[in-house]
Amino acid sequence: MLYSRALFSQVTTNQPVIVWLHGLLGSGDDWSETLYCLSSFAHFVIDLPGHGGSQALECDSLPMCAEQVVTTIQAQLGARQPVIIVGYSLGARIAMAVVNSDASERINIQAVLLEGGNVGLNNEPARVARWQQDSLWAQRFACEPIETVLEAWYQQPVFGTLNTEQRNSVITARRNNVGSAIAKMLTATSLATQADMLPVLQRSPLPIHYVCGEKDTKFQSLASEYALPTSVLANAGHNVHKEQPQAFAALVEEWVTTTTVSCS
């Protein structure tokens, strides 16, 4: 079972618990600024395999990660407790895999919010290129000092909107990662091997909402293609909850409140 923290004293089956899934290299602590702004809600924070308190645990694929998440929710919160899943990047892709599983028969999912998650690559050349890219990064994480790889990782264009202070803060927070564990997770959950989740999301009866940053032109373009209900947050890039935690929290609060009312 994955490491998790329940940030509430008591909840009822009338009140949903928000389940938070972080991105690659992160941990449940990544959500702290957002959760501070959402103190009136009940939260359940999970560390994904190879990360944080789950560092010693492994998974072989995205569906297996989803299974570990569902098992953890079921064991800690029970089958009846309503939950709303929020995932960022890798966490968003795992949330998609949860939707594409038998999870609804085992836990009470009310809605899903996806922050900057890719639904999948729809052509073979793109998958081949992505596998090569992920394999190279995995080799670096496995063989080089973690600090060296992190400095290079956060120079990628997708993180270009992080200011120097934010980038340094993220890198410092990531230095406790074990490179070999990240390497395994990176190849196990590579976007190159992910099934196309868009049809799954489009036909799901669950309320699904997509979030991306105004400065994240790549994922804005993808969001337009996905045609899912979408919010674009101003003055933010790929990592919306890190760059604009208060605005992200306000969006989550409004969406969860509206969704809960519509589902009741």
pTM of the model: 0.96
Backbone region of residue 228 per phi and psi (left: phi > 0; alpha: psi in -120 to 50; beta: other values) = beta
pLDDT, mean over the chain:
95
- pLDDT digits over 22-50, tens only? 999 999 999 999 999 999 999 999 999 99
- Asked, for residue 14, whether it belongs to a domain, the answer is yes
Q: What angle do CA 189, 193, 197 make, to 5 degrees?
A: 90
- Asked, for residue 88, whether it belongs to a domain, the answer is yes
What confidence category does residue 9 fall into, taking pLDDT thresholds of 50, 70 and 90? confident
- Asked, for residue 223, whether it belongs to a domain, the answer is yes
Coil vs helix vs strand at 207: coil
Question: Using CA atoms, how far apart are residues 149 and 141, in angstroms rounded to an integer?
Answer: 6
- Asked, for residue 125, whether it belongs to a domain, the answer is no
Q: 52: domain range? A: 4-120+195-263
Task: Write down the pLDDT at residue 264.
Answer: 54
Task: Write down the pLDDT at residue 261.
Answer: 64
- Return the structure tokens found at 206: 């669950």
- pLDDT digits over 135-191, tens only? 999 999 999 999 999 999 999 999 998 889 989 999 999 999 999 999 999 999 999
Amino acid at 172: T
Question: Using CA atoms, how far apart are residues 121 and 52, in angstroms rounded to an integer?
Answer: 29
- Asked, for residue 235, whether it belongs to a domain, the answer is yes
For residues 35, 179, 186 and 188, what is the CA-based torsion angle, rounded to 10 degrees?
A: -110
- pLDDT digits over 107-117, tens only? 999 999 999 99
- Asked, for residue 59, whether it belongs to a domain, the answer is yes
Task: Write down the pLDDT at residue 179.
Answer: 98
- Asked, for residue 41, whether it belongs to a domain, the answer is yes
- pLDDT digits over 64-100, tens only? 999 999 999 999 999 999 999 999 999 999 999 999 9
- Return the structure tokens found at 10: 């008591």
Quote the number of domains for the chain. Answer: 1
CATH number at residue 257: 3.40.50.1820
- Asked, for residue 221, whether it belongs to a domain, the answer is yes
